[in-house]
Each structure stands twice: as structure tokens, then as C-alpha cells.
Amino acid sequence: YFLATPWKSPDKIDLYDVRRRPWYIQGASSPKDMVILVDVLTRKLRLWFPAFKHLVQANVRNKKIFKDAVQQMQAKGTTDYKSGFHFAFNQLLNKTNVPRANCNKIIMLFTDGGEDRAQDVFMQYNWPNKTVRVFTFSVGQHNYDVTPLQWIACTNKGELNFGFTVHHNIGLMLLNQAQIQQVVSVSPCYQPQQVTVLLLCSGHGRY
């Protein structure tokens, strides 16, 4: 007893987790604009999500649309990193009237491997200031050398990560902003928490 008040019976399990509260996420992470490139190697002209033509906020509705779309991806064809990075940098660096976080800019590339390092693209858009960080994810089992992916990440202030499948990695990240922050570990910007995401798929050598 404390102050003549009986202790409450612990009949229910306390599931309250501050790490899932908005105020904790806003304080622990920072706003960011992020483009997710997925190498699906298709020969179709281009795969788009018609609901979005620009960066959109990563709210519950949009993340569900992205996650469902990832489940429908099928891989075939050839890979071309350059076209994907060209489009991603244009989306992140060009000024637009669409609301954005306007803080940290990130590109995430999910692929099973490739030889191209797209060096000329980074020289055109991102060097020497490196205002956009590039993170690469090597997914699945393959025989490709991951050195190009490691080079892309390390020369653009990112890092190489490994995963079992694209569906697994992207699904978790879209559902958990705290996990995105853990992977990216960007320096904080004092703005309202916002993560904007554009998810593109490769098509006929393009993303």
C-alpha cells in the first residue's frame, strides 16, 4: 500500500511502447525525402503506380499501396542502374510545388546485383557535395560481385545492406519509420516529421 491506496491487480499486460508513439518517432528521427528504386528486370516499357506521379507522404494509406504493389513484382529482363538514378535525382533535386520534407534526401536501391556503377550519373547530380545519400540493398541469392553496390553506397554517404527478398525489406521499411531511421542514421533537421516516398520499378532497362 502507498498513501492508503491498494495496488492494482496486474490482470492485463501493459503493451504501451513509447517507441511507437508519434512524439517519440518525431524526436528520434528526422524528416526525409526518399526514392525507392526496385530492380525488377522487366522488358515492359515501364511500370508505374498510376495513383502517384510525384513524391507522396508515407502515411498509412500510401504505405499500404506501396506494400501491395511490391507483392505483385515479377523479375525478368536486364538491369540498367543509370536510368533509374537519373530519374531519382531529378525527382529529389528539382523544385516542385508538391509538399516535401525538404531536409534529408535519400535513394534506396534494391537489386540482386549488377556490374554498372553509374559513376557518370553521380558526377552529374551528386558530386562533390553529395546532397543525396544512396543506400544499396543486395537481395536474394546470386553470383554477382557486390563490390559495385558497395562502391555506389560508400561514394554517396550510404552503406550496403543485405536481405532475403525485396518484398521483405521494403515491406518492413514502409511499415516502420523508426527502422528507416536506423538504417539511414541521418543528422537531424528541426522540422515536423515527414517521410515522403516515391517507389519506382525498372522497365526495359529503366526504373
Question: Which ranges of 12-59 does DSSP label H, i.e. alpha helix?
Answer: 22-28
Per the CATH hierarchy, to which homologous superfamily does domain 42-201 belong? von Willebrand factor, type A domain (3.40.50.410)
pTM, to two decimals: 0.70
**Angle separating helix axes 177-184 and 166-175, nearest 10 degrees:** 110
Tell me what pLDDT residue 187 has.
40
What is the per-residue pLDDT across 150-188, written as a single tens digit (0 to 9) for each?
A: 999 999 999 888 876 655 556 555 555 554 555 554 443
Could you tell me which residues come within 8 angstroms of residue 140 by beta carbon, excluding any fewer than 6 positions away? 112, 164, 165, 166
Tell me what pLDDT residue 47 has.
47
Residue 51 φ/ψ, nearest 5 degrees: -70, -20
Structural domain boundaries of the chain? 42-201
Tell me what pLDDT residue 10 has.
66
C-alpha cell at 195: 517521410
Tell me what pLDDT residue 114 has.
80
CA distance 106 to 32: 7
What parts of the chain have a pLDDT lower than 50?
42-48, 179, 185-207
